[in-house]
Structure formats: C-alpha cells, structure tokens
Amino acid sequence: MTVYLNTRFIKKSEATISIEDRGFIFGDGVYEVWRIVNGQLFEHARHLARLERGLRELRITPPAEATRDGLLAIAERLIEDNDLCEGEGTLYLEITRGVAPRTHHFPATAPAPTVFAFVNRFVPPEELRARGATATMLPDVRWLRCDIKTIQLLPNVMAKQQAQERGAVEAILIRDGVVTEGSHSNVMAVLDGELRTHEANNLILRGITRDVLLEIAQAEGIAVREEAILESDLGRVSELFVTGTTTDVTPIIRVDDRQIGTGTPGPIAKRLYALLRERMGAGARQAVSATG
Ligand SMILES: Cc1ncc(COP(=O)(O)O)c(C=O)c1O
C-alpha cells in the first residue's frame, strides 16, 4: 500500500513520524475523511472547506502541498497507486501542527505541519443498513468545540467502545437532555412528520453527509427542522438514523431497550439512503470534470 507523508509517496511500512510530532503528543491537528466512488472523491469541495476552516480555527498555517489542487493531486495519485479507480473506498487526511520540542503553547517558530494521507477500500455494509442497527445512549463528555474535526477523539473512542461492549453499533450522545450526535456520525430523527437534527453549532461536527441529506430532503418536499431532539422525545420518534461519510444513512431500530418506530428501517431513511447513493454516482461524475 502506498501512503503519502510530507511530500513523499511511500510504502505504508516505511511511513514514520517523529515522537515529537504535536499530533502524537497533544492531538494537535485536524483530519478529514472522504468517500471515494469509482476513483472520485464525493463532495470533495465541502470536505476541503471544512478542513480549511479547522486549520484556521487551530491557527495551523496550511503547508504548501495542502492547497485545494495539491490535495486533489495527492488523492488522485493515492487512488491510482492503490487500485481504487473502481469500486468504493475512503481517503483519510491528517494535518498536525508539526514537530517541535514539547511545550503546551505553540512553538515560537512555526514548524512545517505534518501531512499524512492514505486510502482504503470500503465495502458498505448493505445488509446491516437493510436490517437496521442498534444504538446505546451515553453522556456527551466532549469539549465545547465539537465543530472542529480534530484528531483528539478519545471521548468518541471510549463511547464507541462502550457501545460495542453493549452489543450496539453506535453510541448516541446526550448533553443536557439533548441528542447531540453519534460517536462518529450525526443523528437524524423523524418526529411529528418532520426530519429533525441538531443545529450546526459548536456541539456537533457539521457532517457533510448531514448537509447533503438535508438538501436532498428539502428537494423531496420533506419538512426539515435543524433543532435537536430531546432525549425524552426518543420514545415518540417514528424513525431514527445516523449519517456520515462511511455510515451513509444507517437506520437505528432500537436504542438500548427501546424499540424505535416499528422496529424496522423507516420509509424516510430508506428514501434518503437511495437518493444519497444516487447522488454519490452523480457526484462522482461531476468530480471527474473538476479534477480533470
Ligand atoms: C463526531 C462526528 N459527527 C459526525 C460525523 C459525520 O460527518 P461526515 O458526514 O462529514 O462524515 C463524523 C464523521 O466522522 C463524526 O466523527
């Protein structure tokens, strides 16, 4: 497998970073994950915009190779070298503040950021989505800047692990009685005929899939409201699903001991999933012209 690290395309086994990398020491960096469909990045511009925003928020000056065109060229080469021109995959990109002697404050002279990227083949778990998945509720103990896609994912890791230990596919996080999001997904519900999801503020990561699905829903004439559902509303929702770059639309049919709706994937989740898949095909064709 070929990966990208600091301007070089090298074998995965040869890729090493310094023990003084601030990503390793402090989790001082951001990341992005794109879906690859037939060799093209789905919604590449939105992911790049979110990455740029995250770098700005953390005051990391993007390195020279991390321009939009530079990153697309890196993606293209990784896709080709790793045989991902057909089928589906993911591209992971991480940018850290770089290597410097350990101090909490930023180094006086900004180091060159570390840039690392790799691709993987991805096969969507269609059977799980058709059957529906289970979730468990956990307190959202994360910091108050969940809008930045930082590599500090320990609360998310702990939540997902706990979900797995409870036999659930995803953790649904609750802060102050409100459903924020999943450990690695956004949460959507159908309540009183409206599609509901947490507003895009500092308490959630504004998912690209979330935004695309809200657009699709609006175009389909589905009423959309960006207002969080309450934990106490979970018993009344007719549908619940989680969304994300690798989650797509995954229906949740049970949360802990509570059945959701009819206990089977609901019609809105199924429709949105079908339309998302359709758009991924269309998005992939659009990206061909954008990347040349
Ligand atoms: C905490 C969290 N929320 C939401 C999402 C969904 O975001 P996206 O649709 O951009 O993948 C992710 C994806 O990794 C995530 O980690």
Which of the four pLDDT bands, split at 50, 70 and 90, describes residue 147? Answer: very high
CB atoms within 10 A of CB 59: 9
pTM of the full predicted structure?
0.95
CB atoms within 10 A of CB 4: 23
Dihedral Cα 106, 208, 156, 237, nearest 10 deg: 150
Residues in contact with ligand 1 by the CB-under-6-Å rule are 33, 156, 181, 184-186, 205, 207-210, 244-245
* pLDDT of 251 above 80: yes
Write out pLDDT tens, residues 61-99: 988 888 999 999 999 999 999 999 999 999 999 999 999
Mean pLDDT in the chain?
Answer: 95
CA distance 217 to 222: 5
Which of the four pLDDT bands, split at 50, 70 and 90, describes residue 291? Answer: very low
Write out pLDDT tens, residues 166-181: 999 999 999 999 999 9
| Residues whose CB falls within 8 Å of the CB of residue 241, separated by 6 or more in sequence, listed in order | 187, 188, 189, 249, 250, 251, 252, 265, 266, 269, 272
* pLDDT of 289 above 60: no
State which ligand 1 atom lies nearest to the alpha carbon of 204.
Answer: 3
